[in-house]
Amino acid sequence: MILLIASRKDGASMEMASRLLELFKFDKLDANRYTYKNYELKFIDNLHIYQNMEDLEEEVEKVVFLSKHSSKADIKSLTVHPIGNFRKAELGGLDNVIVPSDPLGMSASLRYIKNNYSGDHFEITFEATHHGPYMEKPAYFIEIGTTENEWKQEGIADLMARAIMEGVEKDYGNYVGVGGGHYAPKLSSYFFSNDINIGHIIPKYVHEIISEDEIENAVLKTMNCKGFLMDAHGTKGRVKDMIAGIADKHSLEVLKI
């Protein structure tokens, strides 16, 4: 079962949840839960980044969080990203702990958005791994940024809802992204032009503090990881050295772009 989480404290989350209920005819189980085929949509009262979920039912295969995207620079974006922290947990989750990524589902959603959005208001992109909540099931966030004007824009919540439900998972190789800024522009651009899935993304701003164990853990928490997709110019030397060792240890590819 795929669990979809909507937060009542998040306007974009509620817009996407509303469209899911209308487009896909979910059946109501109770005030907080709806079901459709292999999906369950669950409403929570708290902000999802702070609601850790260590005790999910065994039948839950993975979790998708519906969310707004916040940007100090007011970047208008449609994004997906893995969750967890490569540093102190300032926005939920645990310090230096990441959650299993969902490279197939997350990549399928972003690919669907890219292929079906025809406007020029939004940037469509991955974001680096960041923030909570903590859980032990594969998960990702799908987000509309940055204000009510964006998440109420005609057709956008529909697009995001359909991306979750209709994005086609491709059996491409799964890679850990490395380098570049928070929105991983080179990695995102490569992704849209090549047959590849991306799981965890390790941005340059954590390269001075990240450990070799944490990088290796990103591999282990990217299902069936085939290697690293590296923004070579946007990757610090110490991280390149650690990746070389990890790649050799696990017989992984290093694709440098």
Q: What is the mean pLDDT of residues 210-232?
A: 98
Q: Which pLDDT does position 75 carry in this prediction? A: 81
Q: Compute CA distances 85 → 31, 39, 100, 114, whole Å.
A: 32, 27, 12, 27
pLDDT, residue 173, reads 98
For residue 148, pLDDT over 90 is answered with no
CATH of residue 160's domain is 3.40.630.50
Average pLDDT over the chain, rounded to whole?
96
Give the model's confidence band at 149: pLDDT under 50 very low, under 70 low, under 90 confident, else very high. Answer: confident
Q: How does DSSP classify residue 12? A: H
Is residue 60 within 8 Å of 1, Cβ to Cβ?
yes
User: φ, ψ for residue 4 (rounded to 5)?
Assistant: -105, 130
**What confidence score (pLDDT) does residue 227 get?**
98
pLDDT of residue 74: 74
Residue 50 belongs to domain spanning: 2-256
Give me 228's structure tokens: 């690293």
213 vs 210: CA distance, rounded Å: 8
Q: What is the mean pLDDT of residues 42-53?
A: 96
Of 58-72, 82-96, 130-144, 189-203, which range is least confident? 58-72
Burial profile 176-212: b = 16 or more Cβ within 10 angstroms, e = fewer: bbbbbebbbebbbebbeeeebbbbbbbbbebbeebee
Cβ atoms < 10 Å from Cβ of 11: 17
What pLDDT, on the 0 to 100 scale, is given for residue 147? 83
The pLDDT value given to residue 195 = 98
- In tens, the pLDDT along 151-160 reads 889 999 999 9
- Report the number of distinct structural domains present in the chain: 1
Summarize pLDDT for 19-47 with one digit per residue, the tens: 999 999 999 999 999 999 999 999 999 99
- Mean pLDDT throughout 188-214? 98
Low-confidence winner among 63-72, 120-129, 216-225 (lowest mean pLDDT): 63-72
pTM over 0.85: yes
Q: Judge whether 61 and 2 are in contact, CB under 8 Å.
A: yes
